[in-house]
Amino acid sequence: MIRIQGLVKRFGPLEAVKKLDLEVRPGEIFGFLGPNGAGKTTTVKMLCGLIKPTEGRVEVAGFDVASRTLDAKRSIGLVPDEPFVYPKLSGAEYLRFIGELYGVPLAEQKRRIPELLEMFELEKWGGELIESYSHGMRQKLVIAGVILHSPKVLLLDEPMVGLDPKSARMAKDIFLTLAKRGTTIFMCTHILEIAEKLCSRIGIMISGELTAVGTLADLRARSQGAPLTGGGWRQGTAVPGGAGSSPLAGGGSGLEDVFLSLTGGREYADLLRNL
């Protein structure tokens, strides 16, 4: 559902993404992790056509993002880390705008928009201007808009930022449900617990390079010096079975320990001893 080949993005002398090759399959929740400045958001922007790659090719839902940009964008739902919405629209007007933009039939809009506002506890605010919404409310509105047009591919860049615990749990359950229905989810997050619970595979970016891809068992083996087991894709593990039952879960080191081992994050331990 997502195919990336030789993807490169340069900003002047800075090479933000370096020869990225990756495939993500239908119904898979793929976690895209890495330190700040690793190139994750730049990759997401190239996936959804917001910026053009310097080199390489990106396909989403079978469409080349460079040559069939609108077809690719119709297949994509984007939840950015900063919810960009029109402040002078009401919440209900924003959802109607999204529905019209993606060609959702009017009868379906009339049925689903009130349902989505109620689901995200925004029904009392549906007629209020978005400029009065908190960050978390705007984030919930953006997620509701994505659900409304039912994309084949969902791109999430820190989707839980600003959400209260109840809303965050609901968002996780929504993502799991969408994946079970065949939606491909590509998720960037710094919250490793979320990645460990939701994702069937994980890729780790460091300084623009994809340094490791696989299940938690694969990454654990990599962190301990053993070779990866064929890229980490395993038949039947594309979609987690439910909250807290991810195929990444298992004995031994958790994702946080593996991530710190692979990214050099343990170095601060020595510094802490000197405080």
Please enumerate in sequence order all residues whose Cβ is within 8 A of that of 1, keeping only pairs 6 or more positions apart, or say none: 24, 25, 26, 28, 60, 61, 152, 153, 184
Q: For the segment 84-113, what is each residue's pLDDT rounded down to a tens digit?
A: 899 999 999 999 999 999 999 999 999 999
Taking the C-alpha atoms of residue 60 and residue 37, their distance in angstroms, rounded to an integer, is 24
Taking the C-alpha atoms of residue 79 and residue 144, their distance in angstroms, rounded to an integer, is 10
Q: Map residue 66 onto helix, strand or coil.
A: coil
Distance CA 69, CA 84 (A): 21
Among candidates 110, 106, 105, 161, which has minimal Cα distance to 138?
161
- Name the stretches of the chain with pLDDT < 50: 226-247, 249-252
Q: What is the pLDDT of residue 230?
A: 38
Mean pLDDT of the chain: 86
Catalogue all structural domains in the chain, each as residue range(s) with its CATH number: 2-75+180-273 (3.40.50.300)
